[in-house]
Structure 1
């Protein structure tokens, strides 16, 4: 049948490599967000496509952060984070927070304007939305932390989101 995919016996459960899952997940287009945490000299963040609403009553977000990243201990220490949903114009911000060029920590905040909402986590001025959260629960599984946050404040504006698919940034207006 055309369009059907089956897993070859050589890719049995025991032999699945992380690269196979990465290749499969490249087919999922995701909105690009920067998750920020901390304040002043102790701030950092990460570019993610894994931020999503968990519940609207009560308003709750979920993000997945690699525990080997520099962002993880800052979220754990400060117990807050802000999900900044990027516009197509924020590709350079996405690259900096993804660590391109070796930029780390507070240097990732250069060349963009930031404010804070309620928790003190940095919020990107001009983002489609900045969703400010207090950490409610952390679940550590394998290489990542699943972080559940109670939404404390939201800043909204219009525009087109930056999308990531097949290893490339895309714009919905393309």
Structure 2
């Protein structure tokens, strides 16, 4: 949505850019100084340069200019308290060390937050104007880090990085459950009952959501099925993926995982008896379901999925 107020629009747009959280520090004589900063950028590899942007009214600028050194500590996901420490008025300056905060020094002597995710120790290279901020450029003389996840800041709140995409987790859990169901043995009646309990709801939810990734996955499944009608085995495998895509398009992780967990059982029961006529009927049914979802017709999508499963179930019973 476009804002008619450029400043409001800028703030809203900038707030939706996720950034890491850093602490920028310096040591100037007998005292240390630090601020929380999210505007940190790796600038150059030759020479090794980094930048941070600091409010023009911040006393930190004078401290760095005088000391000629700065360190950047990239906070780990468990260090929100460290960020808040430096965001609290009066805590940014300390005599010798920061009270109640563990730090260490490397090459320049500027403090580095203990247990941070990574750090850059630098000499002041240049200071550039940047509107109501000034841009400090540091020449890195030492750097390091460890394994872990970063602390993020997005839309006015601290966030944590999900190290494993949710889709991957769903697939992993669903696959484990699918193996167990296959080993236990799910007969055709049990499979159909499970599908009728899950997939019509998935179709209705997908129609309510109408997400482009969900619709795209359904379209891709249909296109693959049409292209494989000369190979009943490959067609069956592709057509069964439509059911998984239906679960994913619901955007409900529980339903998506449950539908996907039926995969091996569906393959075992649907592998035989695929004919040209059944392939044609399957594609027609899947296309109708897709059109209902694309149109956002939740009740029709639910009814069409139920009708399709009932037809398939009747064919299974005749085998």
Give the TM-score range, shorter chain: 0.7 to 0.9
Q: Which has the higher strand share?
A: 1
Pick one of 128, 142, 148 that aligns with 2:131: 142
Determine whether 1:6 maps to 2:2.
Answer: yes
TM-score of the superposed pair, with normalisation by structure 2: 0.47
Mean Cα deviation higher: 54-63 or 107-116: 107-116
1:166 to 144, 155, 171: 155
TM-score (norm 1): 0.84
Deviation at 1:103, TM superposition (A): 2.6
Structure 1 gap segments, 5+ residues each: none
**What is the CA distance between 1:39 and its match in structure 2?**
4.5
> Size of the alignment, in residue pairs?
162
Structure 1 residue ranges, 4+ long, deviating more than 6 angstroms after superposition:
none
Match of 1:30 in 2: 19
Residue of structure 1 equivalent to 2:76: 87
State which structure, 1 or 2, has the greater radius of gyration over its C-alpha atoms.
Answer: 2
* d(CA) in 1 for partners of 2:37, 2:134: 13
2:132 and 2:65 map into 1 onto residues whose CA distance is: 15
Note if 1:77 corresponds to 2:66.
yes
Unaligned runs of 5+ in 2: 164-319
For the pair 1:104 / 2:100, whether they are aligned, the reply is no
RMSD: 2.0
User: 1:111 Cα shift?
Assistant: 2.8
Larger RCO, structure (CA 8 Å, separation 6 or more): 1
- Correspondences of 1:49-68 after superposition (within 5 Å): 49-68=38-57
**Residues 24 and 73 of structure 2 are in contact (CA less than 8 Å); yes or no, is this contact kept in structure 1?**
yes
Query: Structure 1 or 2: larger helix share?
Result: 2
Distance 1:55 1:140, change over 3 A: same
